[in-house]
Structure 1
Amino acid sequence: MRCIAHRGFAGLYPENTLTAVRQAGQQADMIEVDVRQCRSGDPVVIHDEMVDRVTDETGPVADISLATLQSMDVLGTGEGVPSLEAVLRAMPDGVGLNIDLKERDLVESVIDLTSDFDTEILLSSRDIDALGAAREADPDVDRALLVDSSSEAGIERAASLDCAAIHPHWRLVDFALLERAHRSDLNVNVWTVSDPEKAREYEKMGVDGIIAEEPAACLD
């Protein structure tokens, strides 16, 4: 069962920062980060639409330049909001990157950028239009649909989009979901997991991966 570090193990490290990427890369099989567009159209790594929660500034990410974002202080670390390119350059060898697409319009720029790196890429999103655009831009890049309700409909949508995986919320996961997903050739990566005992249960059930808040949730 693969260990995917949620925002770079956000329960332990400052989320979506280069520090989190470097640290989580020593402990996980794959790192999950959130990507949005800044004012210039460059993909940047931040979860929220606004910078307020994680920086010392305020305002929409879409209205702020890359240089200004990089000069901010994320969660008191002294680090700025990183570009996706900076994250790709910081990725340890052999560790995959799960990019959660927060906006449909950044699909092409993300695919163009990631094509210059050898890192294993998984594009995920709740937005089926974003995943459809990703399939059109490069059908060879793996994709995953995030699901937090109606798991059966989610499996059907993921299969229709030729996704490689489905990412259901942990409350949705049972043997029926796993059977339906695997029958549709979809891997199942569960989010978000904090408890090692729960992770062991998922492994016994046949879950393919967990998206974990801390490395302690991942099994050796």
Structure 2
Amino acid sequence: MSAEGGRTRRELLAAVGASGAVALAGCSGSPGDRSGEPDATAADVRLIGHRGCADQYPENTVLAVEESAPHVDVVEVDVQRCGSGELVVFHDDQLNRLTDGAGTVSSTDWGTLRELTVLDSGEPIPLLSDLLAAVPPDTGVNVELKHEGMAADVLAAVEGVENEVLLSSFSADALRELRAESEDAALAPVFSDSTEERLSLARELGCEAVHPDHELVPGSDLVSTAHDDGFAVNAWTVDGAETAGELVEAGVDGLIVDRWDVLDG
């Protein structure tokens, strides 16, 4: 799919002062030999489409993935188990914000969920397998697990895809389950507080990256500490070019965004 009608990631990064070649390192990536120094430029930073760029497209849908993929390095989606056991791509516990349905995802069977559409867009709630099939092979995938108890099934779903895959979660138990099932899975804790605790968890599990709330980054040593430990830092959710510039200056490796054109200002 072309990027017609909007600037590409390369052009967007140029908007915050990038120069030289853009380094596309996949979805998990590595901070490289940076010795804790915040020396990245915008050209080194990955753009990660949060829920498939939720401010632009109906979130966590196949359409969102197809439309955002030309503009980002990685698409980020949420997964949870529905009432009949299938893995569905949906963020909220409750159905009512995003659909005309009621109740929780965990108590609703797939036969009911598949008939609902997201934000009156006509786009259905997808199975994780169907959404993964829609991601171009050269685009990374970040799957965020909304709860524990899915590790084996999530790993089975991503096993056959060509994409680079990063598995993240707020739940320490979900991450521990993933590590117990796979020594090789690329993992990342997501957090908005308890930075030291989450960095400790990342060390314990041999994670690839950490995903802090962007407000935790400026004025802290989070990035340098994470890089010293070998973790990439992907900050969420970046709401504008000014915030993006601060994070790039701080040395983050990825910007998790609701709009791929956020760098326009």
Residue identity matched to 2:46:
R
Residue identity matched to 1:14:
P
Instruction: Please name the residue that 1:24 is paired with.
Output: 68
TM-score under structure 1 normalisation? 0.96
Percent pairwise identity = 38
Q: Give me the CA root mean square deviation.
A: 1.3
Contact kept in structure 2, 1:3 and 1:218, CA below 8 Å: no
84-93 or 171-180: bigger deviation: 171-180
Superposed CA deviations along residues 113-134 of structure 1, whole A, max 9, x for unmatched, are 1102112111000111110110
Instruction: Please name the residue that 1:133 is paired with.
Output: 177
Contact kept in structure 2, 1:212 and 1:218, CA below 8 Å: no
Find out whether 1:193 has 2:246 as its counterpart.
Answer: no
After superposition, the Cα gap between the structure-2 partners of 1:137 and 1:218, relative to the gap in structure 1 and judged at 3 Å, is farther
Equivalent residue for 1:155, pick from 192, 195, 199: 199
Instruction: Please name the residue that 2:50 is paired with.
Output: 6
Q: State the Cα distance separating 1:152 from its structure 2 match.
A: 2.1
Contact kept in structure 2, 1:98 and 1:123, CA below 8 Å: yes
Q: How far, CA to CA, are the matches of 1:46 and 1:73 in structure 2?
A: 11
Equivalent residue for 2:188, pick from 134, 144, 158: 144
Instruction: Please name the residue that 1:68 is paired with.
Output: 112
Q: How far, CA to CA, are the matches of 1:195 and 1:48 in structure 2?
A: 24
Instruction: Please name the residue that 1:45 is paired with.
Output: 89
Instruction: Please name the residue that 1:36 is paired with.
Output: 80
Residue identity matched to 2:247:
Y
Max radius of gyration: which structure?
A: 2
Contact kept in structure 1, 2:87 and 2:127, CA below 8 Å: yes
3-state secondary structure, aligned to 1:114 = helix
- What is the number of residues matched between the two proteins? 219
Find out whether 1:214 has 2:254 as its counterpart.
Answer: no
For structure 1, the 5+ residue unaligned runs are none
Find out whether 1:184 has 2:229 as its counterpart.
Answer: yes
Contact kept in structure 1, 2:214 and 2:247, CA below 8 Å: no
Q: How far, CA to CA, are the matches of 2:263 and 2:179 in structure 1?
A: 30
For structure 2, the 5+ residue unaligned runs are 1-44
Residue identity matched to 1:35:
V
Greater length-normalized contact order (CA 8 Å, ≥ 6 residues apart) = 2
Superposed CA deviations along residues 23-51 of structure 1, whole A, max 9, x for unmatched, are 11111100111110012211100001111
Q: State the Cα distance separating 1:84 from its structure 2 match.
A: 0.3
TM-score under structure 2 normalisation? 0.80
Superposed CA deviations along residues 76-113 of structure 1, whole A, max 9, x for unmatched, are 11121110011011101200111110111111101011
3-state secondary structure, aligned to 1:100 = strand
Q: How far, CA to CA, are the matches of 1:70 and 1:97 in structure 2?
A: 23
3-state secondary structure, aligned to 2:106 = helix
3-state secondary structure, aligned to 1:204 = helix
Equivalent residue for 2:165, pick from 121, 136, 144: 121
Contact kept in structure 2, 1:32 and 1:98, CA below 8 Å: yes
More strand by share: 1
Q: Following superposition, which runs of at least 4 residues in structure 1 exceed 2 angstroms of deviation?
A: none
Q: State the Cα distance separating 1:218 from its structure 2 match.
A: 4.7
Contact kept in structure 2, 1:148 and 1:169, CA below 8 Å: yes
